[in-house]
Amino acid sequence: MSAITRCILISGLSGSGKSTALKILEDRGLFAIDNLPPIMLPSLLDALSANSAAMAEGVAAVIDSRGDGAARDVDGAEEIIENSGTRVIRIFLDASDETLVRRYETNRRRHPFGDGITIMDGIARERAELDAIKAKSSIVFDTSPMTVGDLRASLLAQLEMNERPFTVIVSSFGFKNGIPRDCDYLFDMRFLPNPNYVPELKKLSGKDIEVQNYLDRIPEKRVFMKHLVSFMEFILKHYENTGKKQLHLAIGCTGGRHRSVAIAEQLSKIISDTGLRTATNHRDIELEGDRA
């Protein structure tokens, strides 16, 4: 059985951003494992050799690197994993004492080293425990001045991993079947004449040229598309800078078969022609009943 290509081990001080780093790599497609004792990692990787996500992109794991013998356990796990043919990359996240104290106070957390000690004492003890692990890490980040966007950019750059392209999802739906709960913008096409009541169009859908031509002849539809495209040009110009990886546009009509589908198809093509990655989904196009 083939080995997983890479295993990224994330360790570091509590509060330095380990969970955030793991989430960034999970969003990039890696199989994510949180807070695993390093001694368990080789057997888990062996079990994941049948997992498609792990095989395609690799595994990222936040490892519990505290306690007596932790450095030895990490070294031993790394040796076993590399002997199996998997490349191991160690990442260590650090931050200034002042930054860590501020993060603990903001989150109202006590230091994981236990009750009865100050946050500063906990940080000092943890630094001493993790010195050996930090020294053997190939990538070290000081996250003190970093935003989440900064960490994402630095982490992916160091790992020579490209950001996944920003994606615009264009969905059609029928209001009578419920509004998509995860959309960012919703547009209602029920102001347009309904092709469902045109006998020769009733059994067709908005994917068919006959329905699209019917709607194109309606002046209000042409005016609406002009304003919609202008609005999307403005929004999309700035939306990528927010750090979000996708934008979901939902286009609705009564049943989700004619008007919303036609508009979604047209809008998706217009956006795609600008060079952005798009995905089109017609949620209700095949539902039975009073289609519109």
What region, left, alpha or beta, does residue 14 occupy, with left being phi > 0 and alpha being psi -120 to 50 degrees?
beta
Q: Which pLDDT value is given to residue 288?
A: 58
pLDDT at 227 over 90: yes
Query: What is the length of the chain?
Result: 292
What whole-number distance in Å separates Cα of residue 220 and Cα of residue 214?
A: 12
Q: Which two tokens stand for residue 154?
A: 């630095």
Q: Which residues pair with 279 in a beta bridge?
A: 169
**What is the set of domains in the chain, with CATH numbers?**
6-158 (3.40.50.300), 167-282 (no CATH)
Model pTM? 0.65
The span from the CA of 272 to the CA of 270, in Å, is: 5
From CA 51, how far away is CA 150, in angstroms rounded?
Answer: 30
Instruction: Specify the pLDDT at position 1.
Output: 46
Average pLDDT for residues 60-85, to the nearest whole number? 86
| Identity of the highest mean pLDDT range in 57-66, 101-110, 149-158, 224-233 | 224-233
Over residues 51-62, the mean pLDDT reads 88
- So what's the pLDDT on residue 35? 86
Residue 290 has pLDDT above 80, yes or no: no
Residues 235-283 pLDDT 10s = 988 886 676 778 999 999 999 999 999 999 999 999 999 988 999 999 9
What pLDDT does residue 109 have? 74
pLDDT, tens digit, 9 for 90 and up, residues 6-48? 999 999 998 999 999 999 999 888 999 998 888 898 999 888 8
